[in-house]
Structure 1
Amino acid sequence: MTAVLPAPRTAQAPSAGGPATGRPARRRRRPVRAILRFTGRWSLRMLVCTAVLSFLGLAVGPHVLDYRTMTMLTGSMAPSIEPGDVVVSTPLSVSDVEVGMVITYHIPIDDHRVVTHRVIEVDRTADGTVSVRTQGDANDAPDPWTAVLTGDTAYQVQAVVPEIGNVITALRNDTLSTLFVQLLPVALGVCMLVSIWRPGREDDDTTTAGGAR
Structure 2
Amino acid sequence: MTAVLPARAPEAATELPPAAEAPRTARAGLPGTVARFVGRWSLRALVAGAVVAFLGLAVGPHVLGYRTMTMLTGSMAPNIEAGDVVVSTPLAVEDVEVGMVISYHIPIDDHRVVTHRVIEVDRTADGTVAVRTQGDANDAPDPWTAVLSGDTAYQMQAVVPELGNLITVLRDPVVNKVLVYGAPALLAGWMLLVIWRPARDEDDEPAADEGQPAA
TM over 0.5: yes
Q: TM-score range by the shorter chain?
A: 0.7 to 0.9
* Partners of 1:35 and 1:197 in 2: CA distance: 19
Deviation at 1:30? 2.8
Flag the structure with higher helix content.
1
Gaps of 5+ in 1: 1-20
Which residue number in structure 1 is paired with residue 173 of structure 2? Answer: 174
Displacement of 1:100 in angstroms is 0.8
Q: Which has the larger Rg?
A: 2
Separation in structure 1 between the aligned mates of residue 86 and residue 197 of structure 2, nearest angstrom: 43
**C-alpha separation in 2, matches of 1:192 and 1:47:** 15
* SS of equivalent residue, structure 1 residue 141: coil
- Paired position in structure 1 for 2:136: 137
Q: Distance in 2 between matches of 1:31 and 1:196?
A: 22
RMSD value, Cα: 2.1
TM-score normalised to structure 1 length: 0.80
Between the aligned partners of 1:74 and 1:131, the Cα distance in structure 2 is 24
Q: 1:119 corresponds to which residue?
A: 118
1:88 aligns with 2:118: no
Aligned counterpart, 1:58? 57
Letter in 2 for 1:169: T
**Equivalent-residue separation in structure 2 for 1:199 and 1:141 (angstroms):** 67
Q: Which residue of 2 aligns with 1:24?
A: 25
CA deviation vs aligned residue, 1:149-186 (integer Å, no higher than 9, x gap): 11110000111111111111111111110111211121
Tell me the equivalent position of 2:70: 71
Percent sequence identity over aligned pairs? 72
User: Which residue does the alignment assign to 1:104?
Assistant: 103
* Runs of 4+, deviation exceeding 4 Å: none
Cα deviations across residues 99-145 of structure 1 (Å, max 9, x unaligned)?
11100000011111110000111111121111111000110110001
The two structures have a TM-score, normalised by structure 2, of 0.79
Could you tell me how far 1:31 is from its partner in structure 2? Answer: 3.1
Q: Which has the higher contact order (CA 8 A, sep 6+)?
A: 2
SS of alignment partner, residue 29 of structure 2: helix
